[in-house]
A and B are shown apart, each in its own frame.
Chain A
Amino acid sequence: MRTPVRNANKLSDGRAGPQQRVRVGLVINPLAGLGGAVGLKGTDGAAAEQALALGARPQSHARAARALERLSALKDCIDLVCAAGGMGADLAASLGFSHRTLGSAGSATTSRDTRDAAAAMAEAGVGLIIFAGGDGTARDVFDGAPGVGLLGVPTGVKMHSGVFGASPEAAGQVAALVLGSEPARVAWREAEIMDIDEEALRLGHVAARLYGYARSPHERMAMQNCKTPSRCDDDPALDALARRMVREMDTGVLHVLGCGTTMRKIKRQLGGEGTLLGVDVALNGRLIATDVDEARLLRLTGGVPFKVITSVTGGQGFVFGRGNQQISAAVLQRAGRENVMIVTSQSKLVMLDPPCLRVDTGDRQVDAMLAGYMRVHTAPGHTMMMRIAA
């Protein structure tokens, strides 16, 4: 596990006045998130090319833009230092931010490029690096600039680390607080950088470890926590619930089943192992499609009644937008709020801080549709009324 080196150029002391230009870095992993909707569980290594071949659409820039828009009022107050080309400078220019560019970028970017850009920014004396990506990008930025404050714009597939905003807008909002006139309103914390073996994930094994702690601004509602594992003492209630749900599934109705160990209990009740970290589909009491991507889901659900059953990421409270991007905004729009069913343990819900669920589908209208109170199933006959914050 790595620990951060203290950087003299900290932003946590409230020293940034409006007249003082704060130096901040911007790194975007343009490939981040490609694997999500096509069901690749991540975009590390060779997965990016595979994702593109499967029809994945890049989304990192668009999501990073949603975050940077929250900084538009501070354009004159910040000294923006960007990675070259598609890794930051292009987006900054398109949004009208004056900026400096470090290094040069080739047509294809790698994790090495991210590390080098972060290191150059640390060298340039930035106090905060805003990066757009997933856990792999967080790890690369942390490696390149240990000790520098990190703030992640969630554009990856999984974001188990604790340095990300709850949504692109939330990340932008926290950045605006830190870089604006009220930095003292934001607390800083040592947030977990999680290291996920994506190769193992694609084979259905969860292999996560704590890679290190990075200093990160923290605002309870706007920042997400590190993912926490499930507790095994919840198993009897969830096992019983899985049996009940499968027994009560309506005949002729498709059931789209999300990811994770809770959902696997349902999948096993359907007679198959299903996909631990993928999305499966059931009809009439059996699994009819496994590890489906967004495109296939849209084909399967066209013109037929269907429900979406999903779980909650422990510690983070995400229902959609983290590791299950296959169940896209388009799929959810088609399903409608009344056909979304959430299943998780009561202990996972009561330990959420803040005590709400989150969605980050990439579509603000769909997020708004899902927002509000919803019953979450925790055991047979037992639900908790949880608020979904969008």
Chain B
Amino acid sequence: MRTSSKALPTVREVHQARWNEPVVMEMGVPGRRGAVYSAPEAVVEKAVGKAADLVPAAMRRKNRPALPEMTEPDVLRHYLHLSQMVHGMMGVNLFGTCTMKYNPRISTHLTLRPELATLHPYQPEETLQGLLEIVHSFDLILRELSGMDQFVFQAAGGAGAAYIHACITRGYFQAKGELAQRNEIISTIQTHPCNQATAATAGFNVITLPLEENGYPSIEALKGALSNRTAALMVNNPDDMGVYNPQIKDWVKLVKKAGALAFYDHANFNGVMSKIRARELGFDACMFMLHKTFGGPKGGGGPAVGAYGCSAELEPFLPKPIVRLDDKTGRYRLDADRKLSVGKVREYFGNLQVVFYAYAWARAMGGDGIKEASDLAVLANNYMEKKLLAIPGVFKSQPQMTMHRMEMTRYGLGPLKEETGIGIVEVGARMTDYGVDSPWLSHEPWVVPEPFTPEPGELWSKEDIDYWIAALAKVCEEARTNPDLVRTAPHNAAIHAINGARLDDPAWWATTWRAYKRKQAPAARASGKASASR
């Protein structure tokens, strides 16, 4: 059944603020201050000494930090302007493979409380009991969701957790004396590429299994890849296109039979929360992304955490320290005396504030709530799929597959591109003109022409989802009626089409102010177009 466009809401004319805002490093004026404090009274100084002396000599800066000198309103105005140029990070954002969730402000307040914000990781563990209790409590929640025996939160993202697994695989087989022989890790083409990349970084050869005619990687290909050289399987399920492999249990059996480890990358956990447990499927280890599935901030919103959990057999190899509860005393301690540990993958304990977000989310949801959220995420995606496929020019990847997709579906605009010459990049840019964040396309390699992968999740309302669909439908229509309008988009955004010619040029890209000054500023000054070059 094709859905008529009348069923979709009317898209709003949106116009972002444009402030042509300089880089903050360019905004300072010597002598300006955010706040000027009066000198301490003599009685105070007599009691505690000079303020500078309160800081140990080894920690004092020799030189003042090279920060711009600005007033407090200058700073607030600058960041307000920036937020106005990105929809305040509150646009309708159905960013597939990323499970973008609203980050409740109450969780933010929790992480900003002094009991967490003023702690130092080198404090004696006796003074960290509250923090350690929350870490341990959340560890228990993840054990319940996965069936694993121990979690660590040191990795600052999903790739970090995948790297932990590659390192643990190395350590595990080294301890067994098989590392020289077992030097291969198997993955699939629609598993997140960080798995293949981290396996290679840890020194393994990588075998990738392609999708077959039926849209799944085949068990025959897995059998062909398995041997006494296999160290591990690292796999997503559902995969990067929202496809759940129903043979996964058989896969894991084969991997175990070959003497290898099985790692479950739960990046796409939202569609199967409380439905499956990695350990019961036979996996030795798994990973959750707290900044996605568990309501923590992601990307520009904050740091990340890849929570890595494993079986008791692999536990000795986990990064250190591990939080332990002493049953006798009821006190928590940091277990760092671990001879087989792979060491650290991140400073201190990782980004513990995200663990607090996730703990707050899990406690608020409860077991039943998490299960219901998964149902809603799959329902919302399949609702969305019906409506998206009614838009001429949109096709679904692997259309021959009859099973429902899970929490997301990969689509393509190949037919629209063939008809109009307009592809997904132009369409995505034009969607921002209607207040919708540009959609996520696909990880590399692209197996679908002009791909995009929306994921509605459980949090976005039906109205938000319908609005997103309406914006896409509107732009696809414009591609036919006014292709130049789409080709030259965005028009109502703070920054118009970006020239990406130098995106892959290491001689030009600059992710720090120093790099900018070294690489781009001379050219910008020479051309007299400093602001336009940013």
How would residues 28 to 63 of chain A score, 1 for a CB under 8 Å from any chain B CB and 0 otherwise? 000000000000000000000000000000000000
| Nearest chain A residue, comparing its CB with the CB of B203 | A381
- Does chain A have a CB within 8 A of B212? yes
- Are B209 and A350 touching (Cβ within 8 A)? no
Main secondary structure of the interface of A (DSSP, over half): strand
Q: Are B221's CB and A355's CB within 8 A?
A: no
Residues in chain A near residue B220, CB distance under 8 A: 373, 387
Chain A residues contacting B224 (CB-CB under 8 Å) are: 372-374, 385
Given contacts A354-B213, A373-B224, A382-B200, contact A346 B208 (CB under 8 A): yes
- Chain A residues lying within 8 Å of B189, measured Cβ to Cβ, are 350, 384
- Cβ–Cβ contact B221 & A382, under 8 A: no
Q: Which of A358-382 contact B (CB under 8 A)?
A: 372-375, 378, 381-382
Give, as a whole number of angstroms, the nearest-CB distance from A177 to chain B.
Answer: 18
Which B residues lie within 8 Å of A350 (CB)? 189, 210-211, 445-447
User: A347 at interface (Cβ–Cβ under 8 A)?
Assistant: yes
Measured CA separation A350–B210 after assembly (Å): 7
B209 neighbours in A (Cβ, 8 Å): 384-385
Contact call A381/B206, Cβ cutoff below 8 A: yes
> Beyond A381-B206, A382-B196, is A387–B212 a contact (Cβ under 8 Å)?
yes
- Decide if B445 touches A383 in the complex (CB within 8 Å): no
Collect the chain A residues with CB atoms within 8 Å of residue B207's CB. Answer: 375, 383-385
Give B207-227 as 1s and 0s: 1 = Cβ < 8 Å from A's Cβ atoms: 111111100001011001100
Question: Is A330 part of the binding interface, using a Cβ–Cβ cutoff of 8 Å?
Answer: no
B108 — which chain A residues lie within 8 A by C-beta? none
Q: Which residues of A contact B221 (CB under 8 A)?
A: 373, 385, 387
A207 in the interface (beta carbon within 8 A) = no
Contact between A384 and B447 (Cβ–Cβ < 8 Å)? no
B103: CB under 8 A from chain A? Answer: no
- Chain A nearest CB from B208 CB (Å) reads 5
Instruction: Classify chain B's interface size.
Output: 20 to 34
Q: How far is the CA of A93 from the CA of B220 in the complex (A)?
A: 44
* B residues less than 8 Å from A387 (CB atoms): 212, 218, 220-221
* Contact A383/B208 with A347-B445, A351-B447, A373-B221 known, Cβ cut-off 8 Å: yes
Instruction: Say yes or no: B211 contacts A381, CB within 8 Å.
Output: no
Q: A350-B189, A351-B447, A373-B220 are in contact. Are A383 and B206 (CB under 8 A)?
A: yes
**CA separation between A35 and B220, bound complex, in Å?**
38
Interface size range of chain A in the complex: 10 to 19
Q: Tell me, rounded to whole Å, the shortest Cβ–Cβ distance linking A236 to chain B.
A: 10
| Measured CA separation A351–B208 after assembly (Å) | 15
Q: Which residue of B lies closest to A234 (CB)?
A: B445
A386 within 8 A of B: yes
Q: Does A24 contact B (CB under 8 A)?
A: no
Task: Report B-chain residues with C-beta under 8 Å of the C-beta of A375.
Answer: 207, 225
**Is the beta-carbon distance between B206 and A382 smaller than 8 angstroms?**
yes
Cβ of B311 under 8 Å from chain A: no
Residues of B within 8 A of A383 (CB): 205-208
- Cβ–Cβ contact A386 & B210, under 8 A: yes
Residues of chain A contacted by B204 (CB below 8 angstroms): 381
**A-contacting residues, B144-190, CB 8 Å:** 189
Q: Which residues of B contact A378 (CB under 8 A)?
A: 208
Q: Once the chains are docked, how many angstroms separate the CA of A383 from the CA of B230?
A: 13
Is A349 an interface residue when CB atoms closer than 8 A count as contact? yes
Contact status A355-B206, CB under 8 Å: no
19 residue pairs A–B, Cβ–Cβ below 8 Å = A347-B445, A347-B446, A350-B445, A350-B447, A355-B211, A372-B224, A373-B221, A373-B224, A375-B207, A381-B204, A382-B196, A382-B200, A382-B206, A382-B208, A384-B208, A384-B209, A385-B208, A386-B210, A387-B218
Residues of B within 8 A of A (CB): 189, 196, 200, 204-213, 218, 220-221, 224-225, 445-447
Inter-chain pairs besides A355-B211, A381-B200, A385-B221, 20 sampled, C-beta below 8 Å = A346-B208, A347-B445, A349-B210, A350-B210, A350-B445, A350-B447, A351-B447, A354-B213, A355-B213, A373-B224, A378-B208, A381-B205, A382-B200, A382-B205, A382-B206, A383-B205, A383-B206, A383-B207, A384-B189, A387-B220
